[in-house]
């Protein structure tokens, strides 16, 4: 539900940002920022450097902001500082992915600067933005410019420079939103990989939408009409729409259609917003794919509407309640047999993207499994809950994804237990580390052994390109199979077999002993074995194993050791 609908806001808004504001105003402004970010969530998700189907920065930031807002949604507190601290706590516990953790640090610094302030004025706002910048930068070991960090820095600088002449909060908000927008547009000049990919920084764009949402609300502008966008069909991550379902969204409708004439995107969005929510529009080879959530009884309205603008070729409907139930069964991993934990021994917590991979971690002695990976980063709270009640004070966390490491570190800071985060950036690295786990040995020695194991394995990943691009000298066409070696794009092909064999060649598979293929849910065991046989033929001296991984989007996650 958007803020203006809930509050009945018009252009004659009730919030006066030309004076000092209290905690109640901050609560409303945070809701506005969250609403506008959610409205433009898919734009942020689509700003992925690599053409892989795991663009989830927008979703991670929405879920982080939602957790922040949930902390204050029913509060009647008027003290500005107390509300700010509640927001920071909620953001920290709900933080997902690198962008979510940095966003939580921005709120943490902001809250520290307004501690126990009854109200916020212009000088205090400027001071709080500077503190938000400083805390965010301190929270990153190696800060990289051209990211969300740069945007909050530029926002704080613009606020400071505007201080002598700016007399009210509304004017200052106008200034920092403009500064955020300009900073986002400059990110490709600071980070060459963004320029090469033809995108701006996704985290910085998300921060801009949060600030812009606050400004739009203050000016009486709507928050439920997204900046219209069409993404490649391959990058539409419909699974993540399950994480944010509003009341009344009973049916998911997906329609493929070919328009009669050039589609008026803005009018298309406006009409669909009258029918439902969670609207996504993708395009590829002249075919459009519409995704929308609607109330039960209205599921045929989008179909009738599409028939007015084009010819539909495929329609799919799902009951959202049934999907959520199925998703809950999958994520619970209830049938796993986990390692028993005794007081004083070391317990390992592993993040796994699929049930098959989770079973492997459990067989190697994991005491707890957190469901997550590409496109589904777990929150700080989820990781913390996985080990907080284990009967030992020695915990080792294996994130197994580069975008989850910071979240694991955030969970580490919230417990009195002795916790080490092994910086495993992939499932193969995490499995190699698990092989070194000795639950009854010295904690620090085991941590060193597990960290050393990360260097003993190569990681391969096979997925499909979500857009056409050229990166690192590799020309990729949308829809092709692509290979990543240790996180770097190395090959592209129309053939799954060919791209997998090319990955083996680039990774020098003949120099290693064991190659393990974890096949995803988009492949059958028979299809996976056929590819494995091709690898066996090409590398007769190597041992080739095939395991069910169950991970989404990635046809193979490959361990080479």
The conformational region for residue 492 under phi > 0 = left, psi -120 to 50 = alpha, else beta, is: beta
Strand runs labelled E in 377-454: 394-398, 418-421
Q: What is the pLDDT of residue 95?
A: 94
* Ramachandran angles phi, psi of 277, nearest 5°: -135, -175
What is the C-alpha separation between 256 and 236, in angstroms, rounded? 13
pLDDT of 4 > 50? The answer is no
Tokens of 300: 């045929």
Tokens of 125: 């706002």
Average pLDDT over residues 325-351: 74
CATH class of 333-456: alpha beta
pTM (two decimals)? 0.80
SS3 452: helix
Interval 120-176: pLDDT, tens:
999 999 999 999 999 999 988 888 999 999 999 999 999 999 988 888 999 999 999
Rounded-to-integer distance, Cα 483 and Cα 476, Å: 11
231: confidence class by pLDDT, cuts 50, 70, 90:
low
Measure CA of the first residue to CA of the last residue in the chain; give whole Å. 50
Spell out the residues 6+ positions from residue 267 whose beta carbon is closer than 8 angstroms to its own. Answer: none
SS3 210: helix
What CATH number labels 3-218? 1.25.40.340
Overall average pLDDT of the 344-363 stretch: 94
Do 1 and 223 form a contact (C-beta atoms < 8 A)? no
Asked if 442 contacts 346 with a C-beta cutoff of 8 angstroms, the reply is no
- pLDDT value at 11 more than 50: no
Q: Are 41 and 227 in contact (CB under 8 A)?
A: no
Sign for the CA dihedral angle at 325, 331, 333, 334 comes to: negative
**Distance from C-alpha of 134 to C-alpha of 95, rounded to nearest angstrom:** 19
pLDDT digits 0-9 by tens, 491-506 = 999 999 999 999 999 9
Residue 83 has pLDDT above 90, yes or no: yes
Q: Give the containing element (helix H, strand E) for 23.
A: helix 23-39
Least Cα distance to 431 among 383, 481, 360, 510 occurs for: 360
Which of 283, 279, 278, 288 is closest to 315 using CA atoms? 288
Residues of the chain with pLDDT > 70: what percent? 89
Q: If we measure between CA atoms, which residue out of 107, 109, 161 comes closest to residue 130?
A: 109
Identify the CATH number of the domain defined by range 458-560. 3.30.1180
* Nearest residue to 120 (alpha-carbon basis) of 89, 154, 159, 90: 159
| Same fold for the pair 3-218 and 231-319 | no
Rounded mean pLDDT, 476-495: 91
Reported as a single tens digit per residue, the pLDDT across 408-424 is 999 999 999 999 999 99
Beta strand 276-284 with 231-232: parallel, antiparallel or unpaired?
parallel
- C-alpha neighbours within 13 Å on the C-beta side of residue 521: 10
pLDDT single digits (tens) 278-337: 787 877 767 888 888 888 888 889 999 999 999 988 888 888 766 554 444 344 455 688
Choices 3.40.50.20, 3.40.50.460, 3.30.70.260, 3.10.450.50: CATH for 231-319: 3.30.70.260
Count CB atoms within 10 A of the CB of residue 330.
14
pLDDT digits 0-9 by tens, 184-209: 999 999 998 888 888 899 999 999 99
State yes or no: pLDDT of 244 exceeds 80.
no
Residue 8 has pLDDT above 90, yes or no: no
Q: Which residue has the higher pLDDT, 56 or 501?
A: 501
Task: Determine the distance from the C-alpha atom of residue 279 to the mean position of all C-alpha atoms in its chain, rounded to a whole number.
Answer: 18
User: 45 vs 324, which has greater pLDDT?
Assistant: 45
User: Does residue 236 carry a pLDDT above 90?
Assistant: no
C-alpha 115/C-alpha 111 separation (Å) is 6
pLDDT at 516 over 90: yes
Number of H helices, E strands in the chain: 21, 17
Residue carrying structure tokens 């509640």:
86
- Report domain extents, the chain: 3-218, 231-319, 333-456, 458-560
CA distance readout (Å), 79 to 15, 45, 84, 162, 168: 16, 35, 9, 26, 19
Q: How far apart are CA 93 and CA 381, in angstroms?
A: 5
Q: How far apart are CA 16 and CA 173, in angstroms?
A: 12
* Token reading at 16: 């006066």
């Amino acid at each position: 539900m958007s803020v203006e609908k809930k509050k009945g806001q018009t252009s004659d808004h009730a919030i006066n940002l030309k004076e000092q504001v209290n905690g109640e105003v901050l609560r409303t402004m945070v809701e506005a920022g969250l609403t506008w970010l959610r409205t433009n969530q898919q734009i942020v998700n689509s700003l992925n450097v690599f053409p892989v189907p795991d663009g989830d920065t927008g979703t991670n930031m929405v879920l982080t902001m939602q957790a922040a807002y949930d902390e204050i949604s029913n509060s009647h507190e008027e003290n500005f500082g107390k509300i700010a601290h509640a927001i920071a706590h909620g953001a920290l516990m709900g933080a997902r992915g690198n962008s979510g953790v940095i966003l939580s640090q921005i709120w943490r610094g902001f809250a520290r600067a307004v501690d126990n302030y009854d109200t916020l004025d212009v000088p205090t706002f400027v001071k709080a933005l500077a503190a938000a910048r400083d805390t965010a930068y301190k929270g990153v070991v190696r800060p990289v410019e051209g990211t969300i960090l740069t945007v909050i820095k530029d926002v704080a600088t613009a606020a400071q420079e505007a201080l002598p002449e700016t007399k009210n909060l509304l004017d200052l908000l106008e200034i920092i939103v403009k500064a955020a927008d300009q900073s986002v547009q400059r990110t490709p000049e600071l980070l060459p990989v963004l320029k090469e990919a033809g995108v701006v920084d996704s985290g910085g764009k998300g921060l801009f939408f949060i600030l812009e949402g606050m400004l739009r609300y203050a000016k009486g502008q709507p928050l439920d009409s997204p900046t219209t966008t069409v993404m490649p069909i391959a990058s539409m991550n419909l699974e993540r729409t399950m994480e944010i379902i509003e009341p009344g969204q009973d049916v998911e409708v997906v329609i493929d259609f070919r328009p009669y004439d050039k589609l008026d995107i803005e009018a298309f969005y406006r009409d669909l917003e009258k029918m439902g929510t969670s609207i996504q529009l993708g395009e590829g080879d002249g075919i459009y794919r519409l995704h929308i959530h609607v109330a039960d009884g209205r599921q045929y309205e989008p179909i009738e509407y599409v028939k007015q603008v084009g010819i539909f070729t495929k329609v799919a409907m799902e009951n959202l309640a049934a999907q959520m139930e199925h998703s809950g069964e999958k994520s619970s991993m209830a049938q796993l047999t986990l390692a028993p934990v005794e007081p004083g021994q070391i317990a390992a917590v592993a993040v796994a993207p699929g049930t098959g991979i989770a079973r492997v971690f459990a067989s190697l002695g994991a005491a707890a499994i957190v469901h997550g990976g590409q496109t589904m980063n777990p929150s700080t709270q989820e990781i913390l809950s996985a080990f907080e009640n284990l009967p030992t004070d020695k915990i080792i966390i294996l994130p197994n994804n580069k975008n989850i490491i910071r979240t694991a570190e955030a969970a580490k800071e919230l417990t009195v237990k002795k916790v080490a985060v092994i910086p495993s950036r992939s499932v193969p690295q995490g499995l190699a580390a698990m092989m070194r786990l000795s639950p009854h040995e010295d904690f620090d020695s085991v941590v060193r052994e597990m960290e050393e194991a990360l260097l003993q394995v190569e990681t391969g990943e096979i997925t499909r390109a979500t857009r056409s691009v050229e990166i690192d000298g590799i020309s990729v066409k949308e829809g092709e199979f692509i290979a990543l070696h240790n996180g770097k794009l190395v090959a592209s092909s129309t053939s799954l077999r060919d791209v997998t064999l090319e990955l083996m060649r680039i990774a020098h598979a003949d120099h290693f002993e064991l190659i393990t293929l974890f096949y995803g849910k988009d492949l059958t065991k028979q299809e996976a074995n056929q590819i494995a046989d091709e690898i066996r033929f090409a590398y007769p001296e190597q041992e080739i194993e095939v395991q069910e991984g169950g991970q989404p989007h990635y046809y193979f996650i490959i361990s080479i050791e």
